[in-house]
Structures are given as structure tokens and as C-alpha cells.
Chain A
Amino acid sequence: MKSKQTRNRFGFPDLGIGVGLRTAHYGHVLEQRPAVDWFEIISENFLGTHGRPGWVLEQAAERYPVVMHGVSLSIGSTDPLDFDYLKQLKELALRVRAPWLSDHLCWTGVAGRNLHDLLPLPYTEECLRHVVRRVRTVQDFLERPIALENPSTYVEFQSSSMSEWEFLARVAEEADCALLLDVNNVYVSSFNHGFDAGQYVDAIPHERVVQYHLAGHTNHGTHIIDSHNGRVIDEVWRLYERSLSLSGGRSTLLEWDEDIPSFEELHTEALRARAWLERARGKARRVHVRN
């Protein structure tokens, strides 16, 4: 029987419930100073720019913990790593005192191109070795562990020799990196590929999970697109609860990036996670005391 983890192995703080820092809410965040636990930024939106977003970020980082979440690390690409990009990531992380940085287990382009999409990887031994090597290099350069997120995918490769969850777990173990478990993406991919989402969640090394993502999606009948709009559906909340029963609770973020509602509506949806988090933490404390 899997034992419940109550702390992540990296000592990253449990920040509570966060939301994304989005342009539409800049004014509200600065003027109203809402009682939100933390913010997540899309790292690329604040690299190499000197305009108002950078100033807003500075103001926000003075009052709230700010975690960095990237989309261009392209950790699985066979193009060389971009060390200019990594240098800027590192500098930004120092400036905002980011508790951790994350990106996706994917690639975004080869031959110098960027398709600006989270492209899927074949789950092969060759790819595993390649990704592990690059994660270690990135972590050495950044001088800290990174968290990799499971992206939603719409294809599977004939050459894959293992499941996505086995691949993810092995990357995390062999590269000694953290995980950002996107529970909505587990659900979306399970629908698209016909696997058991519960089996996926159970197989994750939860001591490496430092953060959760929750989000809405768009169901087209034949497939689901990870559209990051709308509320979190019940099945995803149940997967979240299942994962919490194994991790004991972690920093949780609601992603809502399309058809963005008011800040109040966004935060209210995020706070639905509180009930499950408190239950998981309460159970974790009771287990700890009993042992």
C-alpha cells in the first residue's frame, strides 16, 4: 500500500491556493491587494521586457510569493538548450525570489524553430535518457531543482515503450527533479488516449510533487482540448482529491487563461480546492501523530 507523503522531498513551501497573475487583473491586484496566497506567472511574459508588466510584477512580488511557470524550456527538444534563455530565467527567479520554477515535459520545436506549443514526446528509453540529461544540465545551471509538468497530449507515438506515467516518474527519479502534477491534464490525456486516470495518479512519486494545477477544458466529443477556460469539472476534483490522499496536500493553482473572468470569480473557483486541501492536511496530521 502506498504510504502517504506529507512533505515534498525538496523542502519547497506549501503556499496554499494560488492563481495566475494575468494582465486583465493587474489593476485589481495592485489596488485591492486581494487575500490570495500566491501567484504564478508565465515566465516568458516577463523576460526581456521592460514595460508595465515588469513593474506590476515587482509590486506583486513585494507582497505575494510568486512562482515561475515557463512554456519555452523545450526540455525534450533535440535542439541544444538555450543558455541565454536560462540565464534570463535565473535572473528573474532571483529578482522575484521565486520559491521554484516549472515548465513542461515536452518540446516546442527543432531546427531553430519555435512552434509555441507543448509538443508530445515518445516515451522511449532514448527519449528518457535525453530528457534526464537535459534536466540535470538545467538544474545545475539554475542551481536549483525544477518542477516538470505533465502536459495534455493529443497523439501517442507508435514507438513508445512505456506509459506516460512511468516515463514521468522515471524522469523525475533519474533527474532528481520535482513534479508539477496537472490533474486536469491527467484527465484530458486519459480521455484522449483511453487510459485510467486513477492509475496515472497512483503511479506518481508524490514525494516529488510540489504543486498542482487545476483547470477547465473543452470537450469536443472525440477529444478534449486543454483550453484553460471555465470551471473545474467534478471528475478532475475527484482526481485531485485522490492525489491529495497520497501527497497530504501541496501548493495548488487554478489556471484560467481564456475567457478570463473577474478576479473575484477566478479566486472563488480556486478556493473550492480549500475544502479538499484541509481535509487532506487534517488526515495527514492525524497519521503523523499516530505514528
Chain B
Amino acid sequence: MSATSLVGLERWFQAEVLRPHVRTKRAPVAAARHLTSSRSLGAAERIAIYQRGYMLRLQECLQSDFPAVRRIAGEPRFEVLVRAYLERHPSRHWSLNPLGQDFARFLEREAPRGPRSGLLAGLAQLEWAMQEVFEAPPAPALAQDALQRIAPADWARRRLVPIAALRLVACEQRCNAIASAVRRDEPLPPLGRKRTWVVVYRKDWTVWRMDLDALQFELLSALCRGRTLAQALAAAARLHRGPQAALQRRIQAACASFVSEGLFQAVR
């Protein structure tokens, strides 16, 4: 491949645009070998415009998708994390939309450890769930009385089909409260450990987040995993401490809430 062939030039140019942002052992080829100078800028200064633009553009995208991560990490650390992420997970898609799809996993498993690493990973998981729910296909929600119309004899074997625009997130911290505070520019809640559960869903084109307790989360998770109603109820019941009547009320309230929020599209 000749360095001045189109293939050679494009590979060289791309490598030069990425050079400040990746670790490479390749020796640089002086920009002036392939590029001209202008009356005001040398060749290296001209390609630097693209080098800066590349990182700025992708940073902006991730800042937009992960505002809570950015706030908790702080600007300098967020920038370091983003640079490390983009080096390991460069964009290979024609859209910027999926750029952050591996960010939560990166923070959890690959990123350099630092203060509140676990919290950052949890927030990223929640914020990416919001993006996925935003982009998901729409589906008509179940009618409000759909559950009542299931014959008692059929309950054991029926399954509820969740809408595509739904994600469940379990966190070791108050991720949902933190995300809300950041978005409303309010004081942050305590950042210490507290197990929380959230359902992220879309209703009427708006993305919502609803806090759940452990029982509700287990119930909804089981239903979304395709368990029958009976199986899901049994899974949730294992987390209940107290009278059976109270369990029944909790389950009924949870199911009514799930249906009224449009979390399901069909009964199978």
C-alpha cells in the first residue's frame, strides 16, 4: 500500500487524528509530508483541528448521555474515563446513539479504580437504560382490567409480555435519586451504600423512572423474564415477611401499578 494512495492517505490521516487519544508505538509521520500549510497555520496545526474536534464531539455525546456520572466523577475524572473508554470502545457505527452502550460495563470492569467506582458504574447503568428505553419500539399497553379478566384457573400458566421500552436496574446506591437530583440541579442525596431498585419505562413518549422495593423488583423481573404469573408470585413471596393477607395486598397493588403504568403489552 503506497503512502500516497487513497487507502494509504486515509489510514494515515485517521491514525493522525487519533494519535493524541490512543496509545501507539507507531512512529508519527510528519503532517507536512502529506498536508500543506496555510498562510496562518502549519500542517500539524491544521490536522490538530480534527484531533480536537474528534474528542470534543464524542465527549459531548457521552456528557449528554451520562450527566449523573459526570457530576459524581467530576469533570477531570470524567474526561479521563471517557478518553480511556473511547480508546477501548471506539465508535464503529454510523450513528452516535450507541456510543455509550458499553460505558457501564467499562466502568464496572475495565476502568481504572477510583473513589465511588461502584456508584459510577451503577449510575451509568441507569442512565444507559434511559437511553435504551427512549429508543425502543412502541407498543400498545394492556387494558387496565386485563388482569381481572384472567380466569382464576388460568393464572398459574399465564405470562405477561413486557413492553420493549422497559428496563430494570438494581443498584448498590441511591442511583435514581442521584440521577434525579443532577437533572433538577438539586442537592445530592447521600452517596453511601443503600440497595435500590428502579424500573425505567416509557409512557406516552416520556421516559419515566419508578422506584421499587425488593419484592416489586423481584416480581417484575420474573414477569419480564417470561415466568408465569404463578412462578413470578412465588418468587416475590420468598421476599415477604409477614401475614399472607399483607403479601396478597402488596402483590395486587404492585400488579395494578405495573398495568396502569403500561408496563405490559399482552397476556399469553
Contacts and interface: CB of A to CB of B under 8 A. Distances in A.
A126 interface: yes
Query: Interface residues of B toward A: which range?
Result: 35 or more
B36 A114 contact: no
Interface string A105-144: 0011111111111011010101100100000000000000
Given A155-B46, A222-B41, A44 B95 contact: yes
Contacts of B58: 116
Contact of A72 (B6, B35, B94, B206): B94
A156 interface: yes
Contacts of A272: none
Contacts of B57: 116-117
B34 A159 contact: yes
B6 A127 contact: yes
B17 interface: yes
Contact of B14 (A45, A52, A113, A116): A113
Given A44-B95, A115-B17, A159-B4, A77 B10 contact: yes
A225 B57 CA distance: 14
Contacts of B202: 51
Nearest to B202: A51
A78 B38 contact: no
Contact of A223 (B33, B35, B38, B43): B38
Contact of A193 (B38, B96, B137): B38
B118 interface: no
B268 interface: no
A126 B136 contact: no
Contact of B50 (A47, A117, A130): A117
Interface string B32-68: 0111101111010111011001100110000000000
A210 B83 CA distance: 41
Given A78-B10, A158-B33, A159-B9, A115 B54 contact: yes
Interface string B82-98: 00000000111111110
A192 interface: yes
B102 interface: no
User: In terms of DSSP, what is the predominant structure of the interface of chain A?
Assistant: loop
Given A47-B95, A48-B95, A158-B33, A225 B134 contact: no
B136 A194 contact: no
Interface string A205-230: 00000000000000001110100000
B20 to A, nearest CB: 13
A44 B6 contact: no
A10 interface: no
B6 A124 contact: yes
Contacts of A72: 94-95
A49 interface: yes
B46 A122 contact: no
B241 to A, nearest CB: 40
Contacts of A157: 9, 34-36
Given A155-B35, A159-B34, A114 B94 contact: yes
Nearest to A70: B94
Interface string A149-173: 0000011111100000000000000
A192 B58 CA distance: 24
B155 to A, nearest CB: 32
Interface of B: 4-7, 9-11, 13-14, 17-18, 33-36, 38-41, 43, 45-47, 49-50, 53-54, 57-58, 90-97, 134-138, 164-165, 202, 205-206
Given A221-B40, A222-B45, 18 more contacts: A52-B205, A78-B10, A107-B10, A110-B10, A111-B14, A113-B92, A114-B93, A115-B54, A117-B17, A117-B53, A117-B57, A157-B34, A157-B35, A157-B36, A192-B38, A194-B38, A222-B38, A222-B40
